[in-house]
Amino acid sequence: MEPKRLFDFIHYQQEIYPLQEAFGSRLDGQWKYYSTAETIELANKASRGLVKLGVQPGDKIAVAVYQNRPEWVILDIAIQQIGAINVPVYPTISPGEYEYIFNDSEAQYCFVGKDDLYDKVREAQKNVPSLKEVYTFDRHMGRPFWEDIFSDEGQDEVEKRKSAVQPEEMATLIYTSGTTGAPKGVMLSHNNIVSNVLAVKQIFPIQAGDTALSFLPLCHIFERTALYVYTFKGLRIAFTGTDNLGGDEGDLKAVQPHFFTTVPRLLEKVYEKIYNKGLDLSGLARNLFFWALNLTEDYEYDKRYSGLDAVKVKLADKLIFSKWREALGGRVRGIVTGAAPCPVKMARVFSAAGIPIREGYGLTETSPGLAVGRFDPGGAMLGTIGPSIDKVELMIDGSSGLYREGEGEILAKGPNIMMGYYNKPEATAEVMKEIDGEQWFCTGDVGRLIDGPGGMQFLQITDRKKELLKTSGGKYVAPAPIENKLKEDFLIEQAMVVGESRKFVSALILPAEGALRDWCEHKGYGWTSLEDAIEKPEVIQKYQRIIDEYNPLFNKVEQIKKFKLLSGTWDPVKTDGTEAELTPTMKLKRRVIRDKYSEAIEAIYTES
Give residue-wise pLDDT tens across range 37-61. 999 999 999 999 999 999 999 999 9
Domain 8-165 falls in which CATH fold? Rossmann fold (3.40.50)
Quote the pLDDT of residue 249. 76
User: Is pLDDT above 90 for 360?
Assistant: yes
- CATH 3.40.50.12780 range(s) for the chain read 263-465
- Contacts of 265-268 with CB under 8 Å at 24 or more apart are 265/340, 265/586, 266/242, 267/335, 267/337, 267/342, 267/346, 267/350, 267/357, 268/343, 268/346, 268/487, 268/490
- CATH 3.40.50.980 range(s) for the chain read 8-165
Q: What is the pLDDT of residues 201-234, one digit of tens each?
A: 999 999 999 999 999 999 999 999 999 999 999 9
Domain 263-465, architecture per CATH: 3-Layer(aba) Sandwich (3.40)
What CATH number does the domain located at 468-607 have? 3.30.300.30
Q: Looking at per-residue confidence, does 41 or 283 come out higher?
A: 41
In the chain the first and final C-alpha atoms are separated, in Å, by: 67
Amino acid at 246: G
pTM for this predicted structure = 0.84
* Average confidence (pLDDT) over 171-187: 82
Quote the pLDDT of residue 369. 95
- CATH 3.30.300.30 range(s) for the chain read 468-607
Paired residues of 238 in beta bridges: 24, 213
Closest CA to 175 of 443, 424, 410: 424
User: Is pLDDT above 70 for 181?
Assistant: no
Worst-scoring range by mean pLDDT, 350-364, 413-427, 575-589? 575-589
Q: What is the 3-state secondary structure (H, E, C) of 342-369?
A: CCHHHHHHHHHCCCCEEEEEECHHHCCE
Amino acid at 7: F
Q: What is the 3-state secondary structure (H, E, C) of 59-72?
A: CEEEEECCCCCHHH
Q: What is the pLDDT of residues 228-240, one digit of tens each?
A: 999 999 999 999 9
Name 29's Cβ contacts closer than 8 Å, sequence gap at least 6. Answer: none
Q: What is the pLDDT of residues 293-343, one digit of tens each?
A: 999 999 999 999 999 989 999 999 999 999 999 989 999 999 999 887 888
Quote the pLDDT of residue 401. 67
Sheet hosting strand 60-64, strand order edge to edge: 133-136, 107-112, 60-64, 85-88, 170-175, 185-189, 420-421
